[in-house]
Structure 1
Amino acid sequence: MASVDVVIPNYNYGRYLEACVTSALSQEAAAVRVLIVDNASTDDSVAIARRLAAADPRVELLLRPENLGPHASFNAGIDWARADYFLLLFADDFLVPGALRRATAVMEKDRAIAFCYGHAVAIRDDAPLPEVAAQPAFPTVELMSGRAFIERFCYLGVFQIPGPSILVRTSVQQRTGHYRTSLPHSDDYEVWLRLAMHGPVAALDCVQAGIRTHAANRSTDLWTHQSLHVLHTAAAAESFFHHEGRWLDGAEALRKRARRGIAQRAYWSAVSHALQGNAEALRLLNVAFRLSPFTALVPPLGYLLRRRDMMPRVRSLLARALR
């Protein structure tokens, strides 16, 4: 039986904490250990965490007397982990039944895989956890080399990966190292790029996790003002290619390709916002032209062809234009 260490960072998410922890502890076919890292919450999080730990010896606690920020929680979890696999699960998210069994089965079959991920369902505000349809025991798996994973990011300028679905081989995570505090909102992107330098990446065609969106999410402002998300993504790419990524063959060409990919993503996002009459369109265009001035001259049509979700996006854009 594979072992999995699940780190649950928490700050004032007491209302979600028990459901999150239960979703991890109830996973079958995996020896699970949970570490709740609380960053000096001012709600009832600590009382709930202590009750959960008292009820199940698999739950351990790191209760900080002061808030050291999310990076300290992530990195403490990396240092704490000793199981075969490592998963970072925010306290407002959850794992669907069977997620760890499916993920560990794929990674046990191919010991070279650095990490795997699946799809996620969305849940809004304080809604109860949804009923998720039974997922295939042996889902279709797309296996790509670490290099191909990095190149895909460079061409698209974004990751379409739900964070709580990512299961990492612990030895790879600890070789990769800590989350960088210099990247307050794109630290995960940069870590995923670094992880991919250590082996292949597996994408599971099944739902593995749930992501809750609400006003207190640390990424809420980034999705409201998408130009900020684009800028933070560009910062993650620059950091990666300035540090570990500089050792890749053709690193400078990849860095430039990532810059263009991020600019092209910003361009089409600007078009979408413009069709909705949203002022964010101008900010996105400004970011796109700053990252890649060529986009001001020639619309990057090739970018749409590289997106797997091209046709739904084109249909959506046309519908908005017609309206």
Structure 2
Amino acid sequence: MTSIDVVVPNYNYGRYLRACVESILNQEAVTIRVLIIDNASTDDSAEIARSLARDPRVELVLRTENLGTHASFNQGIDWAEADYFLLMFSDDFLVPGALKRAIDIMEADKSIAFAYGRDVSVRGSAAIPQIPPQPDPAPFRLHQSRAFIKRFCRLGVFQIPGPSIVVRTSVQKRAGHYRTELPHSDDYEVWLRLAMHGPVAELDCIQAGIRSHDANRSTELWAHQIQHILHTAAAAKSFFDHEGGSMEGSRAMRRLAQRGIANRAYWSGVSHLIRRDGEAADLFKLAFRLSPATALIPPVGYLVNRPDTLRRIGSFLAGRGVASKRYVS
């Protein structure tokens, strides 16, 4: 039976921790280990973690001081030794059968670097909803390595639910650690590095749940769109300054990323302008700085390339902001 190691970093999310870990342990048809890394929580997280560790598949690291999320991510990578690897925050959860669906696809094609699927959103402390059984085997699309990276460059954003990403452990080891100099877009940069090692499978089914609440790691970023765009630009720069610089045509790809991020800033500026939000001016300045052509010609093609354009327009007209905790539109 194939195996997977799941790392669950935690800080003061005791109220969500049990549901998260149980959603992992209840996965079928795969051998599982879970490592809970608690970063000196001041709530009841440690007590809950100890009760979960009564299951022999659960291991604990209970820190006496908060070393930050990167220390947890990277310790988890060093600890992993199973066939597959998953890193998920303790306020998220897996859908039944998620690990088997992803691993079956990756076992059938050993070249795949990682697989991900869709997510369901849960607000605050609401109960995990009843999710209809998902197709097994799951339909999926295979993105070749260069095409996956190019899509990010063209759009200037990833639209991937982080807790759904199942990585081949050997690929994660080769890609290496999360970079501490990227406090808010470290995941983007790692996903780009992972994709250099093989194709990416996108499952057409719900694989994980993302819980949105005021204490989320990235809540503040959602309130200030320009900050997230700047962090995305930093991730792209880091990637092309390091591993991505060895790609054939990396200079052209770097320019494409700069233009994609500029186009994203432009349309974010338009959205903020319509809402009479003061951040619009800064977004336009960023867009014009990164790609001066946007000051003369609106980048309409960018909207055509985004698969979620119609959904975003509908949400805006309905007066609903579309914001997901770990991937921003």
TM-score scaled by structure 1?
Answer: 0.96
Q: What is the match of residue 30 of structure 2?
A: 30
Which residue identity does 1:40 align to in structure 2? A
Q: What is the match of residue 62 of structure 2?
A: 63
- Cα deviation 1:41-81 (Å, max 9, x = unaligned): 11110011011102x00000011111000000000000000
Pair 1:194-2:193 in alignment: yes
Q: What is the match of residue 42 of structure 1?
A: 42
Q: What is the match of residue 145 of structure 1?
A: 144
- Cα deviation 1:101-127 (Å, max 9, x = unaligned): 100010000000000000001111111
CA distance in 1: counterparts of 2:185 and 2:221, whole angstroms: 10
Unaligned runs of 5+ in 2: 320-329
Which residue identity does 2:265 align to in structure 1? A
Which residue identity does 2:7 align to in structure 1? V
Instruction: Give the superposition deviation at 1:150.
Output: 0.3
CA distance in 2: counterparts of 1:319 and 1:219, whole angstroms: 25
Instruction: Give the superposition deviation at 1:284.
Output: 1.7
Q: What is the match of residue 10 of structure 1?
A: 10
Which residue identity does 1:48 align to in structure 2? I
Instruction: Give the superposition deviation at 1:248.
Output: 0.2
Q: What is the match of residue 71 of structure 2?
A: 72
Pair 1:99-2:91 in alignment: no
Residue 246 of structure 1 aligns to a residue whose secondary structure is helix
Instruction: Give the superposition deviation at 1:286.
Output: 2.1
Aligned length: 319
| More displaced stretch, 293-302 vs 238-247 | 293-302
Residue 76 of structure 1 aligns to a residue whose secondary structure is helix
Q: What is the match of residue 113 of structure 2?
A: 114
Instruction: Give the superposition deviation at 1:314.
Output: 4.5
Instruction: Give the superposition deviation at 1:7.
Output: 0.2
Which residue identity does 1:15 align to in structure 2? R
Residue 43 of structure 1 aligns to a residue whose secondary structure is coil
Q: What is the match of residue 172 of structure 2?
A: 173
CA distance in 1: counterparts of 2:179 and 2:127, whole angstroms: 33
Q: What is the match of residue 161 of structure 1?
A: 160
TM-score scaled by structure 2?
Answer: 0.95
Instruction: Give the superposition deviation at 1:307.
Output: 1.1
Residue 304 of structure 1 aligns to a residue whose secondary structure is helix
Pair 1:132-2:134 in alignment: no
Which residue identity does 2:255 align to in structure 1? K
Contact 1:275/1:317, CA 8 A, preserved across alignment: no
Instruction: Give the superposition deviation at 1:318.
Output: 6.9
- Cα deviation 1:90-147 (Å, max 9, x = unaligned): 0000001010010001000000000000000111111111111111112211001111
CA distance in 2: counterparts of 1:62 and 1:315, whole angstroms: 45
Instruction: Give the superposition deviation at 1:317.
Output: 5.9
Q: What is the match of residue 226 of structure 1?
A: 225
Which residue identity does 2:292 align to in structure 1? P
- Cα deviation 1:282-312 (Å, max 9, x = unaligned): 2222221222122111100110111112333
